[in-house]
Amino acid sequence: MGQPKQERAVQTRLALMRAAAEVFDECGYTGAGINKILKRAGLTAGALYFHFGSKEGLAKAVMNAQQDTIEPLLDSRGLQRLVDITLVWSHQLAADPLLRAGVELSLGHEKFVDEAPFEGWRELMTGYLREARDLGELREGVDPEVVARFVVGACTGVQLYARQVDGRAGLPRRVTEMWDCLLPGIAAPGTAHTFDTGVARGKRLSRRTGTTGTGAGE
């Protein structure tokens, strides 16, 4: 029995993105030949151009797939959801080439000036922070959009610093430290300790997929 056409298309897209992510990871964006990506994916150039238009289009899809890798693993809400996103992200970066390639491309090494991945994360986080405010979890006067914008920037830099120091081995610990610094200032007075920011939580949530893979679409 053949697969429904739509499902096949989703799998083709994902196969191309995963192959591209692996090749970007190994060779960098500039060094990643289209033929190498196609060979890795076991697909034709026609599929690539149909789904992404160009190598740059494929790279942008990889950059923008970050949220789809994380969100399906979580069911918390409000401030704990915000914490969970960063905890799982810090763990999955080591295991998931698609996520890692997305983060690397977002750093703009390849003269891509594309703010879409940053702005996508900011919008997602702003939503959870508004939820947190409605749940009474935020300190009075805290602006969800300001905090979201800061957390996106902070995570970007914390992972970059960790990459330079120890190839990101210490990143989960650093993300926990980030929340140790931040929560007392943004959570309602006296509640910072009620949120679980531990490395163990990130590890546990990341295991929900049962794979070391990309989560999304599996």
State the residues that interact with its own copies by CB under 8 A. Answer: 106-109, 113-115, 118-119, 139, 142, 146-147, 149-150, 152-165, 174, 177-178, 180-186, 192
CA-based torsion, 46, 50, 54, 59: positive or negative: negative
Q: How far apart are CA 131 and CA 128, in angstroms?
A: 5
Q: How many CB atoms are located within 10 Å of the residue 33 CB?
A: 12
Strand-pair partners of 174: none
The distance of closest approach from Cβ of residue 126 to its own copies in the complex, given in angstroms and rounded to an integer, is 13
Residue whose CB is less far from its own copies, 15 or 154: 154
Rg (CA), the chain: 18
The distance of closest approach from Cβ of residue 192 to its own copies in the complex, given in angstroms and rounded to an integer, is 8
Residue whose CB is less far from its own copies, 4 or 189: 189
State the DSSP string of 125-151: HHHHHHHHHHTT-BPTT--HHHHHHHH
State the DSSP string of 74-136: ----HHHHHHHHHHHHHHHHHH-HHHHHHHHHHTTTTS----HHHHHHHHHHHHHHHHHHHTT
The distance of closest approach from Cβ of residue 160 to its own copies in the complex, given in angstroms and rounded to an integer, is 6
Residue whose CB is less far from its own copies, 159 or 214: 159
Residue whose CB is less far from its own copies, 26 or 180: 180
Residue whose CB is less far from its own copies, 8 or 173: 173
The distance of closest approach from Cβ of residue 217 to its own copies in the complex, given in angstroms and rounded to an integer, is 27
The distance of closest approach from Cβ of residue 182 to its own copies in the complex, given in angstroms and rounded to an integer, is 6
